[in-house]
Chain A
Amino acid sequence: MCLLPLAANAGDVSSVPLTSTPGDPARGQDIVRDTGRASCLICHAISAMPDRDQGTLGPSLDAIATRYTEAELRQRIVDARTLAPDTIMPPYYSNEGLVRIGSRWAQSTIYSAQDVEDVVAFLMTLGD
Chain B
Amino acid sequence: MQRLVLVLALLFPAAALSEPISGYQFMEPSTRQLQDDDFLNPAFFLVERGRQLWDGAWPGAPEGAASCQSCHGAPESSMRGVSARYPALDPATGKLVNLELKIQSEIARKLSAEPPQYESADLLALTALIAFQSRGMPLDVPTGEKVAGWLAQGEEIYTTRRGQLNLSCQNCHGEHWGQKLRGDTISQGHSNAFPIFRLIWDEVGSLHRMFSWCMEAVRAEPYEYGSEEYLALELYLADRGRGLTIESPGVRR
Contacts and interface: CB of A to CB of B under 8 A. Distances in A.
A42 B182 CA distance: 4
B167 A57 contact: no
A8 to B, nearest CB: 20
B142 to A, nearest CB: 28
B182 A100 contact: no
Contacts of B180: 53-57
A43 B167 CA distance: 13
A88 B171 contact: yes
Interface residues of B, number: 24
Contacts of A88: 167, 171, 175-176
A20 interface: no
B182 A55 contact: yes
Interface residues of A, number: 27
A31 interface: no
Contacts of A9: none
Interface stretch (B13-21, B60-68, B96-104, B158-166): B158-166
B221 A100 contact: yes
Contacts of A104: 219
Contacts of B164: 90, 95, 98, 101-102, 105-106, 109-110
